[in-house]
Amino acid sequence: MTLSLEAFLEDLKSEARLESSGQFTLDLSHARDKLAAYQLKKTDDLLLKLVQCGVAGGASRMDFESKNSHVRFVFHGLVFSQKELDQILNYLLQQEPGTNRALRHLATAVNTAVGTRPSAIALASWDGQRGHLTRWSSQGKESQSWTPPHGGRAQTVFQLIRTPAEWRETIKHLFNQRDVIGMFFGWKTGWTAEQELLADRAAWCPVPIFMNGKLLPETPLVVGRVRSSQQEKIIRHGAEARLAGNTGGVRLTTREVKPWSGSTFPKGPVTAVITAGVQEGGLQIPSYVELVNDGITSVRRMIDGLPSNQFVRVLAATDGFQTDLDGFSLVENDDYRVFLDWLLGQSAQLFPAAGLGALPQLNLARRR
């Protein structure tokens, strides 16, 4: 038996009647349509929403485990109340200003997971002393007290139990990725589809992500392409500028790099990283700004205005900016435009500190 959205809708209906004392009745048909709008088109993207949940909620670490039978995601240092987890889809139905971003990200992940018709979905949270678990399956909803296997520090857990049909698809992909000849020549990673997705879209997540026990590999900030070839080369920059931010931010390199002349590295979270340099012979190094929203890469825009032999690379966090329904695409409103103008202005001002001289005004390339 598989879990369907109807089980959640009936549960929400009973909760609405209980809490409103007859003053509010949930319109199930309206709720069904609204929740459908919040289901991600690519079901694997629910993992990206889990990452965003962890970043927005202030998790200290995230552990992702993917097996044929289940997907398990652990948020260390993040706690939700039993009421919040029991009524998780309400955070998509109620569009109130100031709604907890972490809960909205988690709600989108759960809503999308339901669309895969899994065997079961479970949410559990532990504050270090007490815990609770809510589980939905075709048999209904169960809520009970919960303690992690080894007790320990505060954490929240998301778990999806796959159906046999999903097992087969996972095994098929894994078998294809583990082609021995392909791995020998380097074009097969040996990763599952979920691991490949996180390595691509969560590369700049500021919270450490462990995939099946291994830390998500670090991604190079600057990559050049050999002219008239598809071959790429990593550029090991030695200096960069870092701009201070609030919570969240972007992932920083573990290599030892120096601050640009006249600048210092902030001690707290970093909202933007800027580096620049001269293109080496035979390499094409694109100049662009990449925006990371709650740990997930959402936008990449090319930059115009540089001499042909120079490049600038900007990486910045847009946590809390307005997004479309999917929670990934940024709405290009005034806040968005002002922030991009500020990033380009900072880049132009800091560019001379890299020893490359003054820059003309930088502009974003037009979308094609």
How do residues 13-46 score in pLDDT, each as one tens digit?
554 443 443 333 445 456 666 677 777 878 788 9
pLDDT value of residue 97: 59
Q: Which of 163-177, 270-284, 287-301 has the highest mean pLDDT?
A: 287-301
Q: Are residues 59 and 194 in the same domain?
A: yes
pLDDT of residue 302: 92
331-342 as b/e: b if 16+ CB within 10 A: eeeeebeebbee
Per-residue pLDDT, 174: 42
Domain ends where: 197, 215, 233?
Answer: 215
pLDDT value, residue 368: 47
Residues 174 and 313 in one domain: no
> Rounded to 10 degrees, what is the CA torsion of 77, 160, 169, 37?
-90
**Is residue 163 domain-shared with residue 127, that is, in the same domain?**
yes
Sequence-ordered list of residues with C-beta below 8 angstroms from that of 81, at least 6 positions apart, any chain:
125
Mean per-residue pLDDT for 335-363? 82
Tally the domains of the chain: 2
Say if residue 26 is in the same domain as residue 114: yes
Tell whether 227 and 211 lie within a shared domain.
no
Boundary residue ending a domain (194, 215, 236): 215
Residues 200 and 321 in one domain: no
Report how far Cα 30 is from the mean position of its chain's Cα atoms: 29
Same domain, 148 and 267: no
Predicted TM-score of the model (pTM): 0.84
Q: What is the pLDDT of residue 133?
A: 96
Give the contacts of 304 (CB within 8 A, at least 6 positions apart): 287, 362, 363, 364, 365
Domain CATH number, residue 160: 3.30.565
d(CA 115, CA 138): 13
State the pLDDT at residue 304. Answer: 87
At position 56, the amino acid (one-letter code) is A
Using only C-alpha atoms, what is the Rg of the chain? 23
Convert the pLDDT of each residue in 300-325 to its tens digit: 999 888 888 888 999 999 998 988 87
Range of the domain at 20: 5-215
Decide which of 173, 193, 215 is a domain's last residue: 215
| Residue 171: CA count within 13 A, CB half-sphere | 9
Q: Is 192 found in the same domain as 55?
A: yes
Residue 186 is predicted with a pLDDT of 42
Residue 162: pLDDT band by 50, 70, 90 thresholds? confident
Of 39-43, 49-53, 151-155, where does mean pLDDT reach its minimum?
39-43
The letter for the amino acid at 198 is L
Percent of the chain at pLDDT exceeding 70: 80
Residue 177 has pLDDT above 70, yes or no: no
187 and 306 together in one domain:
no
Is 210 found in the same domain as 83?
yes
63, with CB counted inside 10 A (0-12, 13-18, 19+), is middle
Q: What is the pLDDT of residues 220-251, one digit of tens each?
A: 899 888 876 778 888 888 889 999 987 779 99
